[in-house]
Every structure is written in structure tokens, then in C-alpha cells.
A and B are shown apart, each in its own frame.
Chain A
Amino acid sequence: MSSSTVEKSGFSGRPKGESGIGAWLTTTDHKKIGIMYFFTVLVFFALGGAESGLIRAQLAQAEQNLLTEEIYNQVFTMHGITMVFLVVMPLSAAFFNYLIPLMIGARDVAFPRLNAFSYWVYLFGGIFLYSSFLLGGAPNGSWVGYAPLSTDAVSNMAFYAAGLNIVGVSSLAAAINFIVTILNMRAPGMTFMRMPVFIWMSLVTNFLLLFALPIIAVALFMLNADAVFGAQFFEPGTGGDPVLYQHLFWLFGHPEVYIMILPAMGIVSEILPVGARKPLFGYAAVVFAGAAIGFIGFGVWAHHMFTSAIGPVARSAFALSTMFIAVPTGIKIFNWVFTMWGGKLRFTTPMLFSIGFISMFTIGGLSGVTHAIVPHNAQQHDTYYVVAHFHYVLFGGALFGLIGGVYYWFPKVTGKLMSEKLGKVHFWTWLLGFNLTFGPMHMSGLLGQPRRTAVLPGELGGTVEIYNLLSSLGVVVLTVSALVFLFNLIASIKGGVPSGNDPWDARTLEWLTPSPTPYENFPIIPTVTHRDEFWHRKYAEDDAGKAIPVPAGAAEDHDADAEPEHIHMPDPSYWPLVQTLGFFPFGYGLVYGNFWLIGIGLAWLVIGLYGWIIEPLAEGDDDDPVDEPARPGARAGAH
């Protein structure tokens, strides 16, 4: 093990500092990266929220002209892109980062530097997308970017194509990383059926990412090639098929919506049992349903194209598969409800958000099923009724779950509790503001209000106006609520009440270690003998199924015979940050059709890769152990 010191004198050395900004810039620690994801998401959420504020201000009354059509179209496009790709997905990634290693009893992810790489690519991809505002206008072709509209230069959608591909690289790298981590780094004894549901849902989500991202990458490359390099993929003038783009986009797009909801479902499945003081009702069914949703989710994509140029047989087939997906989702809903049934519920803030999740998501899910009634989908499609549906599942679902997760794991990260009082204010205003904003959209949509329209036409009839006004008022409530959340967050980081190591009487492994989590996560890697391992270390069940606490100290110490280990942690590295900067020239090259920039970007990425490879080997990195005994003779043979 001492041989590693020899290696330290390599090409550039590795960064040291344990503190200060440098430590953050070069970190490969999954916990720090998770925290960076979280704060970056906050900024993008504020941007996306501000954009939605502009949307709602414009639509508060009929025939308003606060924003021109040109600006409005950019704003709603960027709102959609921001919320989907720069808020919900990376917020899930923040949880993956922080929690996956902790929940499976590992010290880091499988590829720590790749993990840092993912973060920086995400950040720079986001900055790249937003730089378009300064460079002649943001993309304005909607978040689905239908061709051939988006191949038109005035749509600025080259930024969308290049930007999303960059962000996609981040997600793909992260997906591979997390899949390998979950499959290959579980603590001894943690079999698949002992994994926490959150881990299961993360695994499914990352497989969805793994298989869905390449599809949109292709769609975006084609779009980019059409828009900038004169290709003809979707150009009807030469026989290109615009519907092909729609198929490719939604082949990705639908799995994508489950990518956004499954992590939240995992989080809720962790919080509910803790809040109800009862194990998850039907663990196997919840896990299986999650996997089924992921799988079926690949086979329903054309339900976004019911009014497109597809025929009756396809419409019927996709209607059926779409309806069918309600079955596994329903299983989860009822299992969650029955987790609460017969429990002793403690209404902590995370619990409130989880209950809010079940309740609000069900509304969005049910309106989803009404979309699958194809003959009537022709009325709903591209109206505010759809906008209502997807905000109920995305905001009422994904965001409620993820925010519940923030409250729940905040003590884990900081060792402090968030204010429960402010948390409850946040929850109730959030719930109110959310329903006020999106509830009325069901009505205005059915009354004929189309989406993606820059002005609310007065001729739609008086009723629509009042619904829009309510929606716009809702955003005011939401903004206040978000500020309460933000204040709570900052105040609790600064001066929150110490939480102790296990504030919720939790069930899973991450609470086994001290809070805040020490650098190496676990002093000794735990050996797992049960699902909900940590809970079983605290309680036993009597014959009637009643739980009784195990007296302190009497617990059978599973890890007693484990020897103290020599702990290797991944070293920090400059290269993920340095290398990913290369995506800027690469991206701008793709946007402006400049092969020099593309070349510079690629060269930069390659050189960065070399820096990465040549960097002195560290113990415990995603590389071969340097302390592997060298085979005498073999080395000599090399020269």
C-alpha cells in the first residue's frame, strides 16, 4: 500500500485541499457532488419559475401584451426545458448521488471522477442553453422541438439540440455510474430483495435513462444536422418525414416522464413507512410495479401523437398500452395508502409532502387516463387540459416527492433539522398555490384554450379568463411559498436544531452512520441481514407482529467480527472540471456550423481525457488498485 506514494509524483499531481472552494471544484465525493447538484437545481428552479411567472403574468388577462409573441415563445420553451432537464432530472440526480452509496452501504459510487464529470457537464450544459438568451435569442420551438419547425434557423433550436445533447451526456454517464454502483457495490448481504425501494426505483430510472437517452440523442443530432448542416431528415420538400421526428422524440419522451416520477416514487416509499412507523405495505408489489412501469413505459410513446399522422390501428394499440399503465401505478398508490392504514402517523413535513404526493399525483394520473380515450384526446390534445395533467404529475408528483425528500434527508446532510413550523407553512401554501395554479387549467383547457399561445384570446369566452386569473394568482402563492422554503433552508443550514443521528426513527442504512455523514460514510461496511436493516437493528417483532425495541447494547452486533479496515477514498481531481469545459466550443460549433470550434472542442475533450488517464493513480479510484502486487518479471518483459 505504500507503493502508492511513488505514483503521486506523476504528470500533474492531484489536488489536495479538504476545504475551501477548491475542494468543491475538484471533489469526487458523491456527497459533495450531490449537494452541488442540489444548489445548482435551486438556481435553475428560480429561473424556470421566473419564466413561468412571466407566462402567467402574460396570460392573467385576455389580450395582454406584456410579452411579444417572440419573447413569449422563448420563455415557455425555456421554461419547459429548464424544468424538465435542469430541475427535475438533476434534482433526482442529487438524491441518487447522495443516497445511493449510503443506502447500499458503500463508500462512493463506482466511478467517482465520472460522477464529477456528470455534474460539470450538467452545469455547463445549462449555462450553454441559457447563453442563447445573449446570443440572438433562446430556442422557441417548444420543449418537444417538432421538426421541421425546429430546423428553421429563426427557431434557434440548434441551441436546444446541442444543449440537450450535452446535458444528455451528463445523464448517460451518471446512469452507467449508478447502475454499476447499485449492481456491484452493495454491502455484503444486501440482496436485490433487501434493497430499499428508493434504490430499486433509482435502478429502474437509470436503466430508463440508459436506453432512452441514445434515442433522443439521435433525434437531436438529426435535428441539428438538418438545421445547421443542410441534412434532409425531416425535410418534406425532399421526402423527409416530420412524423419520424415525433416518433423518435416520444420514444424518448415518454420514458422520460417516468424518469422524472420514479425517483419521487422511491422517496415517498421511504418516507411513508417511517412516518407511519410500519413497513411498506407489499414491498415486492411496489418494486415489481415500478419495474413494470419502467418497462411498459417504453411501449406507449405514440399516445402523444394521437392527433398526428398515425392511423386507427396504431391509435388503438397505443390507447390500450397507455391505459394499461394505470394498473401498476394503481398498485403503488393503494400500497402506499395501506402503508398508512393501521399505522401511527406522525405528520412531519416530509410525511405531509408524501401524502400530498399520493393525493395530487392521483389527480394527474386520472387525467392521464382520460387522455388515452383517443376520440376525446382529439379535443384535449394541446390544450391547457394537458398542461394541467402534466403539472399535476410533475409538480404535484415529482416535485412534491423530491421536496419531501429534501426535508427528510436534510438532517442526514447537515446534522440539523429544518424548521417544522416553516415546513408546514411551506407545505400548505405549496399545496394551495399548486392547486390554485393548475386546477383551473383543467377547465380552461376543456373550454377550448390551446397551449403554447402567447395571448389569451378574448373571444374564447368570459369563463376562461377567470380561470386564467386564478392560475396567475396561484403563482403568487407559489412564489411566496418557495421563498418560505428557501428561507427555511438557509436558516436551518445556519442555525437549525441539531438532529442527532436518527431523527425520524428511520429504517434504512444511511441513518446508521452519524449525521452529517462522515467523509468515508461508514467506518465499517455493515453486513446486511434484513430488508430495512437499520430498523431491525433497533427493533424486533414479537409473535403478533408487534414491534418491540431492542434494548440498547443488546442488539446483536452484526459487524462485530468485521476487522477494522484500511479505508481508501477517491482523490479529488481537476480533470472532470477542466475537461468538460470543452463542451462549450463543441456546442457552439454545432450551433454555428463551425468545424473549427467543433474540432477545438473535441480536441479539448480528448486532451482532458488524457489528463484524466495520466493523472497519478490514487488509491480507491475507479482504476486498478495501485497496490496490486506487481508480478516480477512481467514488468521486466515490458522493456
Chain B
Amino acid sequence: MSSTDAPEQASSTDEHDDHHPTPRQYVNIAVVLAVLTALEVSTYFLDFGVIAIPLLVILMVVKFLYVAGWFMHLKFDSRVFGRMMYTGLFLALGLYALAIIVILFDSATIA
């Protein structure tokens, strides 16, 4: 089967290994993640006032993107993988947000 040439021919495994990050880069990412986590936890000890919650959400998203992008190689791997994941993620966000909105703000009880 290796003799048939598919039109959407792929790079071989070894090829895409080349642009994988180095351990040093991984460690750097981990340091960043650690700092972000420290910042997160500090919101508990220090009073950030109104920006605390938006800040936490932003930090969460950034951490998410770092882990997904670097550790899970989304930045380097095929875009198909990312699409799979983000489809699930955004579908979940959309559907559950809608359901929560209906339950909290438009239950018949309030009408």
C-alpha cells in the first residue's frame, strides 16, 4: 500500500519531529505556567477587586493555550487535530451557556 501515492501526501513522522520544541523550550513554558499559576493563587491572598475574576479567566485561557499549543503540540501538528478539539470545546461552551441562560434567566417560574 505504501506504493500508492495519495494526493494529500503527508510528511513522515520523522519530518515533523524536526520542528518539535527542545526540552529547554518545554522547561521555559513550564516556568511561564508556574508563574501564571502563582499569579492565580495570589488573587486569593491579595485583593484584586473587580479585576480579579476577569484576570483569572484570562490566566486560565492562557494556561490552557500554552499546554495545548506546546505540550500537546497543537502549534506544530496538523490543524485537523486542533479543529477536532476546538469543535468540542466551542460546542460545549455554546450549548451549556445556552442551557444555563435558559435555566437561570428564563424559567417559567420567573415569567
Direct contact of A and B (CB under 8 A): yes
Q: Which residues of A contact B (CB under 8 A)?
A: 183, 188-189, 191, 210-211, 215, 241, 243-244, 247-248, 251, 298-299, 302, 308-314, 525, 527, 562-563, 565
- Nearest opposing residue in chain A for B108, CB measure: A309
Q: Are A310 and B108 CB-contacts (below 8 A) given A211-B88, A241-B103, A251-B99?
A: yes
| Cβ A189 vs Cβ B102 within 8 A | no
Which one, B5, B80, B105, contacts A183 given CB within 8 A? B80
Q: Chain A residues near B87: list those with CB within 8 A.
A: 211
Q: Are A314 and B91 CB-contacts (below 8 A) given A188-B5, A189-B7?
A: no
Which one, A191, A251, A310, A527, contacts B4 given CB within 8 A? A527
Q: How far is the CA of A243 from the CA of B104 in the complex (A)?
A: 11
Q: Which residues of B contact A (CB under 8 A)?
A: 1, 3-7, 80, 87-88, 91, 95, 98-99, 102-103, 105-111
| Cβ A298 vs Cβ B3 within 8 A | no
Q: Chain B residues near A311: list those with CB within 8 A.
A: 102, 105-108, 110-111
Q: How far is the CA of A241 from the CA of B106 in the complex (A)?
A: 14
Q: Chain A residues near B80: list those with CB within 8 A.
A: 183
| Cβ A298 vs Cβ B95 within 8 A | yes
Which one, B4, B91, B110, contacts A188 given CB within 8 A? B4
Q: How far is the CA of A309 from the CA of B3 in the complex (A)?
A: 62
Q: How far is the CA of A277 from the CA of B91 in the complex (A)?
A: 40
Q: How far is the CA of A314 from the CA of B3 in the complex (A)?
A: 57
Q: How far is the CA of A191 from the CA of B4 in the complex (A)?
A: 15
Q: Are A243 and B107 CB-contacts (below 8 A) given A211-B91, A251-B95, A298-B91?
A: yes
Q: Are A188 and B6 CB-contacts (below 8 A) given A211-B91, A314-B102?
A: yes
Q: Are A562 and B103 CB-contacts (below 8 A) given A211-B88, A298-B91, A309-B108?
A: no
Q: Chain B residues near A312: list those with CB within 8 A.
A: 106, 111
| Cβ B95 vs Cβ A563 within 8 A | no
Q: Chain B residues near A191: list those with CB within 8 A.
A: 7
| Cβ A247 vs Cβ B1 within 8 A | no
| Cβ A247 vs Cβ B99 within 8 A | yes
| Cβ A525 vs Cβ B4 within 8 A | yes
Apart from A251-B99, A311-B111, A565-B1, list 11 A-B contacts with CB within 8 A.
Answer: A215-B95, A247-B102, A247-B103, A308-B108, A311-B102, A311-B106, A313-B106, A314-B106, A562-B3, A562-B4, A563-B3
Q: How far is the CA of A311 from the CA of B101 in the complex (A)?
A: 11
**Distance from B27 Cβ to chain A, minimum over Cβ atoms (Å):** 23
**Distance from B101 Cβ to chain A, minimum over Cβ atoms (Å):** 8
| Cβ B103 vs Cβ A244 within 8 A | yes
Q: Chain B residues near A565: list those with CB within 8 A.
A: 1, 3
Q: Chain A residues near B99: list those with CB within 8 A.
A: 247-248, 251
**Distance from A207 Cβ to chain B, minimum over Cβ atoms (Å):** 8
| Cβ A309 vs Cβ B4 within 8 A | no
23 A-B pairs whose Cβ atoms sit less than 8 Å apart in the complex: A183-B80, A188-B4, A188-B5, A188-B7, A189-B7, A191-B7, A211-B87, A211-B91, A215-B95, A243-B103, A247-B99, A247-B103, A251-B95, A309-B108, A310-B102, A310-B106, A310-B108, A311-B107, A312-B106, A312-B111, A314-B102, A314-B106, A562-B4
| Closest 4 pairs (CB-CB, A-B) | A311-B106, A309-B108, A311-B111, A314-B106
**Distance from A188 Cβ to chain B, minimum over Cβ atoms (Å):** 5
Q: Chain B residues near A313: list those with CB within 8 A.
A: 106
Q: Chain B residues near A188: list those with CB within 8 A.
A: 4-7
Q: Chain A residues near B108: list those with CB within 8 A.
A: 308-311
- Nearest opposing residue in chain B for A318, CB measure: B102
Q: How far is the CA of A183 from the CA of B81 in the complex (A)?
A: 12
Give the one of B4, B6, B7, B109 with max A CB within 10 A. B4
**Distance from A242 Cβ to chain B, minimum over Cβ atoms (Å):** 11
Q: How far is the CA of A527 from the CA of B4 in the complex (A)?
A: 9
Q: How far is the CA of A215 from the CA of B99 in the complex (A)?
A: 12
Give the one of B98, B102, B110 with max A CB within 10 A. B102
**Distance from A382 Cβ to chain B, minimum over Cβ atoms (Å):** 16
Q: How far is the CA of A243 from the CA of B100 in the complex (A)?
A: 11
